[in-house]
């Protein structure tokens, strides 16, 4: 059987395929697996109780059945769109209308649309997405229909402390290198994109960094796309000061996944009306319309601000505590080794740097997998960078902290045992 060029591209092995396969296989396995590699959010009792109550309510009043027995418009469920407009205008002075919001079947779906809208083949040549801070989300890497169109620069790496302790580092945008990129000057960049907090590292770009990126995007007449899947105001898994801003040149992407509803596949894009119309048109062709069920569950929680209360009082504190536990375990395991942790400023992961590791973290991934512990190696995350010439890209791993304490303890102990032997043997 012969596939098209499109088919060959989307059926080859990829980082995101590996991640989702490992997650599914681990859940289906009859052998115990320390699942530190997936992106599934934690099960938080207080949040689950709110969803269960809402599910019962929408089942009783008939809206659950109505949501799955009728299409929405290609822009998304009308009631939820109105609710979101009111929610954002209540908390921010953005003066949105319904023409500023479109729904998608998850944020992965949203970025597939956006990256193919703003990069790839144009009448005046190819354009790329500029990632100002690599490493970035593994799911971006293979989103283009034709080829891969990303440009990135290595970050500045700054040693820092966390909670008064050493052993941490933080990535910063190298603006000198970024602003000097020839692709910006010759019109070969179609959009700038960053996640905040960043998946995989938990880094939060500062307000000053965001303002500078906004100014850079406006200077070159291109949009600034912000992946806010872990950010404020929901799920608010962010542990440092950060202001959420929007303007007509900004594309803000939200998701219901990390509030605890990954299975309903609901993404939210806040943008100018031209982009909203473009995404709606793509929805019609690819999906007919976005799934309505997630919107129907979420609408009451947004209408009364319960979603924000849950984010502030249940979701964010849970992940803060999980980060603290995992950091204590990691620092105990690697106290005498050249191992550093990225400063945990948000998201549901820790990013661990094994400086001068004798093997690549892709090889380490295989050793850990054989020992019943799953992580994600760093090579997949340096999208737009030639990792062959960048050793740091082969020395880090991403760990999920959205796991029970027992899984964290066993998984980190396994990592410690194998990594210590690698350093000792070398």
Q: Is the dihedral of CA 3, 6, 11, 12 positive or negative?
A: positive
* Alpha helix stretches (DSSP H) within 225-384: 273-286, 293-303, 306-310, 316-333, 361-370
pLDDT, residue 254, reads 98
Q: Give the DSSP H/E element, type plus range, for residue 397.
A: strand 396-400
Q: pLDDT tens, 61-73?
A: 999 999 999 999 9
Q: What is the pTM of this model?
A: 0.94
Domains and CATH numbers, the chain: 5-47+312-425 (3.40.640.10), 70-308 (3.40.640.10)
Q: Which of 134, 196, 157 is nearest to 380 (CA)?
A: 134
Cis, bond preceding 233 (omega within 30 deg of 0): yes
Average pLDDT over residues 292-320: 97
At 7, is the pLDDT very low, low, confident or very high (cuts 50, 70, 90)? confident
- Better-predicted residue by pLDDT, 11 or 357: 357
pLDDT, residue 12, reads 75
The mean of the pLDDT values for the chain is 94
pLDDT at 365 over 90: yes
At 20, is the pLDDT very low, low, confident or very high (cuts 50, 70, 90)? low
Q: pLDDT tens, 257-290?
A: 999 999 999 999 999 999 999 999 999 999 999 9
Both tokens assigned to 404: 């029970």
Q: pLDDT exceeding 90 applies to what percent of the chain?
A: 88
Contacts of 374 by beta carbon, 8 Å cutoff, 6+ apart: 22, 26, 33, 34, 35, 36, 37, 38, 368
């Amino acid at each position: 059987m012969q596939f098209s060029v499109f088919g060959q591209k989307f059926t080859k092995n990829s980082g995101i395929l590996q991640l989702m396969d490992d997650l599914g296989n681990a859940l289906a396995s009859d052998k115990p697996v320390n699942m530190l590699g997936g992106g599934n959010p934690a099960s938080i009792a207080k949040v689950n109780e709110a969803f269960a109550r809402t599910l019962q309510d929408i089942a009783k009043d008939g809206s659950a059945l109505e949501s799955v027995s009728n299409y929405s418009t290609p822009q998304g469920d009308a009631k939820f769109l109105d609710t979101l407009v009111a929610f954002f205008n209540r908390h921010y002075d953005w003066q949105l209308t319904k023409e500023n919001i479109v729904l998608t079947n998850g944020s992965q779906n949203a970025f597939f649309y956006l990256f193919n809208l703003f990069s790839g083949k144009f009448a005046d040549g190819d354009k790329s997405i500029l990632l100002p801070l690599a490493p970035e989300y593994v799911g971006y890497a293979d989103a283009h229909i034709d080829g891969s169109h990303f440009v990135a620069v290595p970050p500045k790496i700054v040693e820092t402390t966390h909670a008064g302790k050493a052993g941490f580092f933080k990535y910063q945008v190298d603006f000198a290198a970024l602003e000097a990129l020839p692709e910006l000057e010759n019109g070969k960049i179609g959009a700038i994109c960053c996640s905040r907090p960043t998946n995989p590292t938990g880094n939060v770009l500062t307000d000053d960094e965001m303002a500078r990126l906004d100014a850079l995007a406006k200077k070159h007449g291109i949009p600034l796309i912000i992946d806010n899947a872990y950010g404020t105001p929901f799920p608010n898994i962010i542990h440092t000061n950060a202001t959420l801003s929007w303007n007509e040149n900004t594309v803000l992407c939200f998701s219901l996944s990390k509030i605890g509803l990954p299975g309903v596949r609901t993404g939210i894009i806040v943008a100018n009306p031209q982009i909203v119309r473009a995404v709606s048109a793509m929805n019609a062709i690819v999906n007919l319309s976005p799934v309505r069920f997630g919107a129907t569950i979420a609408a009451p929680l947004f209408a009364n601000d319960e979603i924000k209360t849950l984010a502030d009082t249940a979701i964010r504190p849970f992940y803060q505590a999980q980060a603290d536990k995992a950091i204590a375990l990691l620092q105990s395991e690697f106290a005498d080794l050249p191992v550093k942790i990225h400063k945990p400023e948000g998201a549901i992961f820790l990013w661990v740097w094994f400086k001068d590791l004798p093997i690549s973290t892709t090889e380490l991934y295989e050793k850990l997998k054989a020992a019943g512990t799953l992580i994600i190696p760093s090579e997949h995350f340096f999208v737009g960078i030639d990792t062959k010439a960048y050793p740091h890209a082969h020395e880090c791993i991403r760990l999920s902290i959205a796991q029970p304490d027992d899984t964290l303890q066993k998984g980190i102990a396994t990592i410690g045992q194998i990594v210590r032997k690698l350093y000792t043997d070398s």
